Protein backbone atom coordinates (compact mmCIF):
# COMPACT_ATOMS: atom_id res chain seq x y z
CA UNK A 1 0.00 0.00 0.00
CA UNK A 2 1.50 3.32 -1.08
CA UNK A 3 0.78 5.46 2.00
CA UNK A 4 1.45 2.80 4.64
CA UNK A 5 4.38 3.76 6.87
CA UNK A 6 5.13 0.09 7.63
CA UNK A 7 5.20 -0.79 3.93
CA UNK A 8 7.68 2.07 3.46
CA UNK A 9 9.82 0.66 6.29
CA UNK A 10 9.76 -2.78 4.62
CA UNK A 11 10.86 -1.22 1.30
CA UNK A 12 13.66 0.70 3.05
CA UNK A 13 12.11 4.08 2.18
CA UNK A 14 11.92 4.97 5.89
CA UNK A 15 14.79 3.98 8.20
CA UNK A 16 14.20 1.66 11.13
CA UNK A 17 16.17 -0.23 13.75
CA UNK A 18 15.63 -3.80 12.62
CA UNK A 19 15.68 -6.46 15.30
CA UNK A 20 14.82 -9.52 13.20
CA UNK A 21 13.89 -10.29 9.62
CA UNK A 22 13.02 -13.30 7.52
CA UNK A 23 11.22 -13.77 4.21
CA UNK A 24 7.73 -13.12 5.68
CA UNK A 25 8.17 -11.02 8.82
CA UNK A 26 10.07 -7.96 10.05
CA UNK A 27 10.61 -6.89 13.68
CA UNK A 28 11.85 -3.38 14.48
CA UNK A 29 11.94 -0.91 17.36
CA UNK A 30 8.87 1.30 17.79
CA UNK A 31 9.81 4.99 17.36
CA UNK A 32 7.37 5.98 20.13
CA UNK A 33 7.97 3.25 22.72
CA UNK A 34 5.91 2.61 25.82
CA UNK A 35 9.17 1.39 27.37
CA UNK A 36 12.68 1.18 25.91
CA UNK A 37 12.89 -1.96 23.77
CA UNK A 38 9.23 -1.78 22.58
CA UNK A 39 9.29 -3.71 19.31
CA UNK A 40 6.81 -4.23 16.47
CA UNK A 41 6.46 -7.46 14.51
CA UNK A 42 4.86 -7.02 11.08
CA UNK A 43 4.18 -9.14 8.02
CA UNK A 44 6.04 -8.07 4.89
CA UNK A 45 2.79 -8.27 2.93
CA UNK A 46 0.23 -5.58 3.67
CA UNK A 47 -2.83 -6.66 5.65
CA UNK A 48 -4.87 -4.08 7.57
CA UNK A 49 -5.29 -6.12 10.75
CA UNK A 50 -5.33 -9.60 12.27
CA UNK A 51 -8.63 -10.42 10.57
CA UNK A 52 -7.15 -9.91 7.09
CA UNK A 53 -3.83 -11.63 7.85
CA UNK A 54 -3.63 -15.24 6.61
CA UNK A 55 -3.23 -17.86 9.32
CA UNK A 56 0.17 -19.04 8.08
CA UNK A 57 1.44 -15.45 8.26
CA UNK A 58 0.00 -15.02 11.76
CA UNK A 59 1.72 -18.24 12.80
CA UNK A 60 5.05 -16.90 11.55
CA UNK A 61 4.42 -13.55 13.29
CA UNK A 62 3.78 -15.35 16.58
CA UNK A 63 6.91 -17.49 16.24
CA UNK A 64 8.96 -14.33 15.70
CA UNK A 65 7.15 -12.58 18.55
CA UNK A 66 8.06 -15.39 20.93
CA UNK A 67 11.72 -15.42 19.83
CA UNK A 68 12.10 -11.62 19.98
CA UNK A 69 10.02 -11.39 23.17
CA UNK A 70 12.38 -13.76 24.98
CA UNK A 71 15.38 -11.71 23.82
CA UNK A 72 13.71 -8.44 24.89
CA UNK A 73 12.81 -9.80 28.34
CA UNK A 74 16.34 -11.11 28.89
CA UNK A 75 18.39 -8.31 27.36
CA UNK A 76 16.27 -5.42 28.64
CA UNK A 77 16.04 -7.08 32.08
CA UNK A 78 12.29 -6.73 31.98
CA UNK A 79 10.11 -8.12 34.75
CA UNK A 80 7.47 -9.04 32.16
CA UNK A 81 6.39 -8.46 28.57
CA UNK A 82 3.08 -7.33 27.11
CA UNK A 83 2.25 -8.81 23.72
CA UNK A 84 -0.52 -6.78 22.18
CA UNK A 85 -2.48 -6.53 18.92
CA UNK A 86 -4.81 -3.57 18.38
CA UNK A 87 -7.43 -4.10 15.67
CA UNK A 88 -9.37 -1.14 14.26
CA UNK A 89 -9.54 2.44 15.52
CA UNK A 90 -11.77 1.77 18.51
CA UNK A 91 -9.15 -0.66 19.84
CA UNK A 92 -6.32 1.84 19.47
CA UNK A 93 -4.93 0.79 16.08
CA UNK A 94 -3.17 3.78 14.53
CA UNK A 95 -1.20 2.19 11.68
CA UNK A 96 -3.47 0.00 9.58
CA UNK A 97 -0.89 -2.65 8.75
CA UNK A 98 -1.19 -5.79 10.85
CA UNK A 99 1.33 -5.73 13.70
CA UNK A 100 2.13 -7.14 17.12
CA UNK A 101 3.57 -5.00 19.92
CA UNK A 102 6.18 -6.52 22.23
CA UNK A 103 6.47 -4.18 25.22
CA UNK A 104 9.01 -4.84 27.98
CA UNK A 105 7.54 -4.11 31.40
CA UNK A 106 9.16 -3.25 34.69
CA UNK A 107 7.43 -3.92 38.00
CA UNK A 108 7.14 -0.23 38.90
CA UNK A 109 7.00 1.40 35.44
CA UNK A 110 3.66 3.07 36.18
CA UNK A 111 1.86 1.84 33.06
CA UNK A 112 -1.52 0.14 33.20
CA UNK A 113 -3.12 -2.03 30.53
CA UNK A 114 -6.65 -1.85 31.89
CA UNK A 115 -7.97 1.62 32.57
CA UNK A 116 -11.45 0.68 33.68
CA UNK A 117 -13.43 -2.46 34.10
CA UNK A 118 -17.12 -3.05 33.51
CA UNK A 119 -18.62 -6.05 35.26
CA UNK A 120 -21.37 -8.13 33.66
CA UNK A 121 -24.96 -7.59 34.76
CA UNK A 122 -26.83 -10.61 36.12
CA UNK A 123 -27.33 -13.15 33.33
CA UNK A 124 -25.45 -11.05 30.80
CA UNK A 125 -22.41 -13.37 30.62
CA UNK A 126 -24.47 -16.24 29.21
CA UNK A 127 -26.15 -14.00 26.64
CA UNK A 128 -22.78 -12.64 25.48
CA UNK A 129 -21.20 -16.10 25.35
CA UNK A 130 -24.07 -17.44 23.25
CA UNK A 131 -23.79 -14.50 20.80
CA UNK A 132 -20.09 -15.14 20.32
CA UNK A 133 -20.59 -18.90 19.95
CA UNK A 134 -23.27 -18.27 17.28
CA UNK A 135 -20.67 -16.38 15.23
CA UNK A 136 -18.13 -19.22 15.20
Q: What is the Cα–Cα distance from 87 to 84, expressed in whole angstroms? A: 10
Annotate 63-109 with DSSP letters as a single string: HHHHHHHHHHHHHTT-SEEEEE---SGGGT--S-S--EEEEEE-TTS
Q: Which of 38, 46, 97, 99 is catalytic?
A: 99
SS3 assignment, position 43 = strand
Q: How far is CA 42 from the centre of its chain?
A: 8
Catalytic-residue membership of 99:
yes
Closest by CA to 104, choosing from 36, 49, 51, is 36
Residues annotated catalytic, as ranges: 99
Amino acid sequence: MEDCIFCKIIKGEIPSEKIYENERVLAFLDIAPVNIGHTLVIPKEHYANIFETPEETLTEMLKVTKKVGIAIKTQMRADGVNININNDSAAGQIVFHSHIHIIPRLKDDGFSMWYGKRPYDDGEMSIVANKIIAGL
